[in-house]
Chain A
Amino acid sequence: MIAPRTRRNLRSELSRSLLAKLGIAIVVVIIVTALFAPLLAPHDPEDQNLDNANIPPIGFTATENQTSTEMVDGEVQIVEEEVVVNTTAEHPLGTDSLGRDVLSRTMFGARTSLLVGLFGTAIAVVLGVTVGITAGYYGGRIDDALMRFADVMLAFPSLVLAIALIGLWGQASLRIPDPLVATGIAPETMPGDIVLPGTVIVVVALVNWVWFARVARGEALSVRDQEYVKAARSMGGSDLHIILRHVLPNSLTPILVLATIQIAAIILLESALSFLGFSGAQLSWGFDIAQGRQYLSSSWWIATVPGLAIVAAVVGINLIGDWLRDALDPDIEGQGGAP
């Protein structure tokens, strides 16, 4: 898919780009965290403990207004006291209003984001590239019909469309047993299942495929005019042969770049949906932000930590995407003839 010369190029380009390395580092951390969450997380993310509610992250102070009753001058009065809440190493990033460990929740939340991001993008790519290449290669009425349909899809604001579809289909999700917990490598207290929010994945794919279709179509249009395609036809190659052997491989470079950047966009979309309460997963960055919204002035860390996680993920992925686009750019043949 990527020409061998380009692979060599990429390696040397990579060694020179600090930002790309940073992006890769961030993304790798997130992936590892998601994969090994049951092992890395200090607590069960769903473990509620009201006694430990609203503990701030280490290094920060928070005060709570504790109310109690006291006898003052023979009357029962409600007294408010400001009590300092102690941070603890047990909960390095604090706990939420139900006493659940924020760090653990954030780690597990990575799973949801990554799953939705990867699967959602994958489906969008398959759908979009199929439509786009068909439209670009055949042209004419097929192209017109497909692209008008794509335009219609594009006319819907993505969030509104997503909410509508979820409303229509419900929030179905798939539960897959987590191998790390099942085999006993991770503590039994950890959640035993990986939750795959099926509806959300399908929905984000449906909302995003059009971008891929457009890019794929553009590529197919230009590849179609190349002489090597004419050569393949003159040899007797069928349309399918030409599309699979020539058009598709030569169209994928910009798709790859777009996919990388779209993963970030999809993660954001999922977070928005979770925030609004439309997600299938209870363990998600967006969901936590929603929970923590009301406490922003007091227990601000409940929303902020997952928020920062989202920022990190999106920034990391975008850094990679940007670098990839620039690195793959000189993927053009030189021009012949006398200089």
Chain B
Amino acid sequence: MTDPLVTVDGLEKYYYENDTLLDRLTGAEPEAVRAVDGVSFEVREGETLGVVGESGCGKSTLAETLMRLREPTGGSVTFDGDPVFDLSGADMDAFRRRAQVMFQDPFSSLDPRMTAGEIITEPLAIHGVGTGDERRRRAESLLEEVGLSADQIDRYPHEFSGGQRQRIGFARALAIDPEFIVLDEPVSALDVSVQAQVLNLLADMQAERDLTYLFIAHDLSVVRHISDRVAVMYLGKVVEVGPTEEIFEDPDHPYTKALLDSVPRAETGEQDRTIETIRGDVPSPRNPPSGCSFRTRCPELIQPPGLSIPQETFREIGELRTRIENGDIDVALRWEQVGDPTREDRAAFADSIYTEAFDTALPDADEATVREAIRALAEGEREPAAATLRERYQSPCEAVEPALPAGDHPAACLLGEQPDDVDAAREEWEADRDAPGVDL
């Protein structure tokens, strides 16, 4: 296990919207949906690397791009020394024989008009391996290996249950004797008891045939069960990667911690377990937040240097600022609620929003700043209101984009160790802030 089998380096897959002829003529800017936004990791021979994340994190796109089922917009993937995106012809065929995929949906991953035998032997047929009889025998033995019966070889997918269909999909992936299999949520659509059956099968096969797995899932308990190492993804980036034990017992990145916390445990006493649910929704990959993409929801958001207020208050101020910046607050509506159509009583306006946004009292200096911002908002001056708050409360996490440092268990978070260029960027930002003219 020296050189890794698969190396992913800065992989990017952007989808461009507003990119048709008509848009270009009208001068509309192409918007990029950053499905995979600079991902790097490696998969070592014989191991299972789990990739986990919620919807919109890009893990499925990662799987498809890595396997060159989609063309990347940037970055590279190396498979056993070969650059995957430069392959063609016979080399490409060879790659397609050594790397296979198992898909998620038991209902659409098998062609409904082909028999189980035909489905399993299709890769053999494509690559011209074996005669018709040989292939059929191979299909029969594969069926048995995955826990089905060889005499089901001529049955159609609709005659099998979900778990059985996944087994057929797995047999198909094994047919051509690959070394590396990407498993894209292989058990997510299955019932719990069936899921366990299939997981055992996957583990057994890996041991027997010395396979390398890239296992993609959103279910953390499943990932922990089957992976040697785990990569956690958020909004197209890997935020933390490391050995399974360490990730689960000692996570570094706040998102990983929140993710682990959120999973409900199937045991009595779960109701007494207090968790800090992270607030807000996953931002859109069309417009990821600047700096660290998790900052809009992060409980451990770093306060700017020189500021020291309760973390909860800091976050509440941040949320108010976001609402102002996004235009979520309808000024006219608020004036109506306050009952002052002349819009003179800004203090009342400020009160209404202030009490709504904050549960606890703020320190004086902060209360003053916040009220000033809200009063600006009252006059319809959204940008100055936001600027007032930004000046005082902008977190380094907003301005500096964290990255994965080197090491066995890196986390892309400014709270921990960071690569040199990130440290430099942070220093620069702090210096700019301290420049004369900025009044704290």
Chain A interface (Cβ < 8 Å from any Cβ of B): 1, 3-5, 226-228, 230-238, 241, 245-246, 249-250, 333-338
Stretch of B48-56, B100-108, B206-214, B289-297 at the chain-chain interface: B100-108
Stretch of B121-129, B245-253, B404-412 at the chain-chain interface: B121-129
Q: How many Å lie between the Cα of A336 and that of B163 in the bound state? A: 10
Stretch of B109-117, B300-308, B310-318, B327-335 at the chain-chain interface: B109-117
On whether the beta carbons of A333 and B112 are closer than 8 Å, the reply is: yes
On whether the beta carbons of B64 and A230 are closer than 8 Å, the reply is: yes
How far is the CB of B265 from the nearest CB of chain A, in Å? 20
On whether the beta carbons of B69 and A3 are closer than 8 Å, the reply is: no
Q: How many Å lie between the Cα of A123 and that of B64 in the bound state? A: 39
On whether the beta carbons of A235 and B126 are closer than 8 Å, the reply is: yes
* CB < 8 Å neighbour of A3 from B67, B112, B176: B112
On whether the beta carbons of A5 and B158 are closer than 8 Å, the reply is: yes
On whether the beta carbons of B101 and A3 are closer than 8 Å, the reply is: no
On whether the beta carbons of A337 and B189 are closer than 8 Å, the reply is: yes
Q: How many Å lie between the Cα of A338 and that of B190 in the bound state? A: 9
How far is the CB of B128 from the nearest CB of chain A, in Å? 11
On whether the beta carbons of B158 and A333 are closer than 8 Å, the reply is: yes
On whether the beta carbons of A5 and B123 are closer than 8 Å, the reply is: no
Q: How many Å lie between the Cα of A3 and that of B156 in the bound state? A: 9
Q: How many Å lie between the Cα of A289 and that of B103 in the bound state? A: 61
Chain B interface (Cβ < 8 Å from any Cβ of A): 64, 67, 69, 92-93, 96-97, 100-101, 103-113, 119, 122-123, 126-127, 156-159, 162, 169, 172, 176, 189-191
How far is the CB of B432 from the nearest CB of chain A, in Å? 45
Known pairs A227-B103, A227-B109; list 19 more (Cβ under 8 Å): A3-B158, A5-B158, A226-B108, A226-B109, A227-B105, A231-B109, A231-B169, A232-B126, A234-B67, A234-B96, A235-B123, A235-B126, A236-B93, A236-B126, A236-B127, A238-B126, A250-B111, A333-B108, A336-B105
A230 cross-chain contacts in B, Cβ below 8 A? 64, 69, 101, 103
Q: How many Å lie between the Cα of A102 and that of B113 in the bound state? A: 48
Q: How many Å lie between the Cα of A230 and that of B65 in the bound state? A: 12
On whether the beta carbons of B103 and A231 are closer than 8 Å, the reply is: yes
**Chain B minimum-CB-distance residue to A232:** B122
**Chain A minimum-CB-distance residue to B20:** A144
Contacts A5-B156, A333-B107, A338-B191; A235 near B96 (Cβ below 8 A): yes
B172 cross-chain contacts in A, Cβ below 8 A? 231, 235
Q: How many Å lie between the Cα of A337 and that of B187 in the bound state? A: 11
How far is the CB of A246 from the nearest CB of chain B, in Å? 6
How far is the CB of B113 from the nearest CB of chain A, in Å? 5
On whether the beta carbons of A241 and B111 are closer than 8 Å, the reply is: no
Contacts A5-B158, A230-B64, A230-B69; A235 near B176 (Cβ below 8 A): yes
Q: How many Å lie between the Cα of A237 and that of B158 in the bound state? A: 24
How far is the CB of B130 from the nearest CB of chain A, in Å? 15
**Chain B minimum-CB-distance residue to A236:** B96
On whether the beta carbons of B162 and A231 are closer than 8 Å, the reply is: no
Q: List 12 A-B contacts (CB under 8 A).
A: A3-B158, A5-B156, A227-B105, A231-B101, A231-B172, A234-B67, A235-B122, A236-B126, A237-B126, A249-B113, A336-B162, A336-B189
